[in-house]
Amino acid sequence: MRKVVLVTGADSGIGLAFCKRLLAEDDELHLCLACREMCKAEPVRDDLLASHPTAEVTIVEVDVSNLRSVFRASKELKQRKMIHMFSTAEGLLTQDDNITADGLQEVFETNVFGHFILVQELEPLLCHPDSPSQLIWTSSCSALRSNFSLEDFQHSKGQEPYSSSKYATDLLSVALNRNFNQRGLYSSVVCPGAVMTNLTYRILPPFIWLLLLPVILLLRFFVNSFTMTPYNGAEVLLWLFQQKPESLNPLIKYHSATTGLGNNYVNPQKMDVDEDTAEKFYQNLLALEKRVRATIQIQ
């Protein structure tokens, strides 16, 4: 049976780079691209199959900022027998937060809650003790405890929704390990480093980044987090794919890093996470899930 890998946000950026590197590593995979827009995902699938004709590449349409879309996608995904690895996208990088159609904070729903619901729905496919599966959350070095509050975990009152959401993924990963390791599901957190993608171009225009490139390349001799390209940023994701999930430390965040000479490696760092806070946050998510399911009609 083919190993099944599900990747959200797989049609661009680090998600796409990870898919390419995965197939270069193992072209017998069943790679499932979970994307918001089919018109973008279909050419990506065709290109991947053209490069790796022995692979199986499928698409599921899902918008993690819309829970109806998440439930529809999970229904389609449940037709599969097993998922061996589930990797989440970079998420929504913005300080301009909005309210979604579900009545939730957009950054929180996109980066945390939509994926959480998808994991909950796919639990039977992910949990198989005889063959451990991996869940990988794409976090950030900007995931700061000071920007997160249990009393306002959607960050509706704060000014740092992205940082708060990424710290929330760190907490959630720790809690999931406490609750699911015995059932064969292991969660890890990664940071791809500073990568130039469509997300970073929302902060500064591409031509500004181009002007800054010589300075950034010089800084890379002193700061290893300037991975720059999606290919380099996906280094840690590929490394995790090669590991036994049960052998990984649940309190470590694994960072993609690049030397000044352009060599990629993985830099593990202990997370600033309190396990009791992680469990409380997990229980808050379960309570929110219960309220959401009671109000949303699932077609």
CA nearest 253: which of 272, 234, 235?
A: 272
Distance CA 112, CA 102 (A): 14
Amino acid 237 reads L
Task: Name the 3-class secondary structure at 37.
Answer: coil
Beta-carbon contacts of residue 157 (< 8 Å; ≥ 6 apart): none
Cβ(61)–Cβ(36) below 8 Å: yes
Tell me how far apart the alpha carbons of residues 205 and 153 are, in angstroms, rounded to a whole number.
31
Q: Cβ–Cβ contacts within 10 Å for residue 51, how many?
A: 12
List the catalytic residue out of 162, 186, 254, 282.
162
* Chain-centre distance for alpha carbon 77: 18
What residues have CB less than 8 Å from 131, skipping those under 6 apart? Answer: 82, 84, 184
253 pairs with which residues across the strands?
189, 269
* Chain position carrying tokens 């590449």: 57
* Surface-to-core class of residue 201, CB atoms within 10 Å of its CB (0-12 exposed, 13-18 middle, 19+ buried): middle
162 is annotated as an active-site residue? yes
* Cβ–Cβ < 8 Å for 219, 284: no
Residues recognised as catalytic: 162
